[in-house]
Amino acid sequence: MQLVNFIKFALLCVILPTQVLGFYYYGNTGDRKCFIKELSKGTLLEGKYAVQTFDEELKSYRDADSKNVGIVVDIEEIFDDNHRVVHQKNAPVGDFTFIALDSGEHRICLETTDSSWVGKTKAKVSIDFSIGSDSKFDSKKKKTVKSLHQKVNYLNMKVDDIRREQALVREREYKFRDISESVNSKAMWWTILQLCGLIGICVWQMKSLRSFFVKQKVL
């Protein structure tokens, strides 16, 4: 029986090479909680966390307000004189990833922050650690790069559409300007012709009146 259980456990370790640790702890905002993890070089550490604060009216914990509550994530290499390799200020709900650069013990510390005037409040922090190889992280990066590549292609298409619209607008503007200049030129020449006609009529009328007055012996 023990042999069968041992074989099942060995198969489970082979099928599931990634270790997942999930738990939660209670404290106050501003408290710092640290965990020690033995990581080998190239090991991927992924942590997912959620901070909840105690509501006095409801007498229970609810999701923390992202405007006031946050969390600081620090990762230090204990074997290298507590050298800090990660320092992040994050929202009360989120995740973080880290790849060990060297083998040894690492200290993962979480510190909740509260900027409200009330001060420290009771907090509940849920944390899930996922430890595996960096191939998982690489696959995530590939998916992210692919998604960004698709977004860039989409933006390029939009830019091309905008350029075509601008070219069409410029072409229409050129045509409208040519038509306007042609109409203005024709209107100017028509005005000049009208003035010349009026001047000619005035001169003819003056000559006609003068000859009429001469015949009538008025002049």
Please tell me the distance from the alpha carbon of residue 152 to that of residue 157, in angstroms, as a whole number: 9
pLDDT by residue (tens digit) across 172-199? 898 888 888 888 888 888 888 888 888 9
Q: What is the pTM of this model?
A: 0.52
pLDDT for 139 equals 55
One DSSP character per residue, 165-215 reads: HHHHHHHHHHHHHHHHHHHHHHHHHHHHHHHHHHHHHHHHHHHHHHHHHHH
Are 110 and 96 in contact, with CB atoms under 8 Å apart? no
**What string of pLDDT tens digits covers the 219 residues of the chain?**
444 454 444 444 433 444 545 788 999 988 999 999 998 888 888 899 999 999 888 889 999 888 889 999 999 999 989 999 999 999 999 999 888 888 999 999 999 998 877 667 899 999 998 887 555 555 556 666 777 888 888 888 889 889 988 988 988 898 888 888 888 888 888 888 888 888 988 888 888 877 777 776 655
* Average pLDDT across the chain, whole number: 81
Domain positions in the chain are 2-132
Please tell me the distance from the alpha carbon of residue 194 to that of residue 188, in angstroms, as a whole number: 10
Architecture of domain 2-132: Sandwich (2.60)
Please tell me the distance from the alpha carbon of residue 59 to that of residue 31, in angstroms, as a whole number: 21
Tokens in use for 54?
């105690």
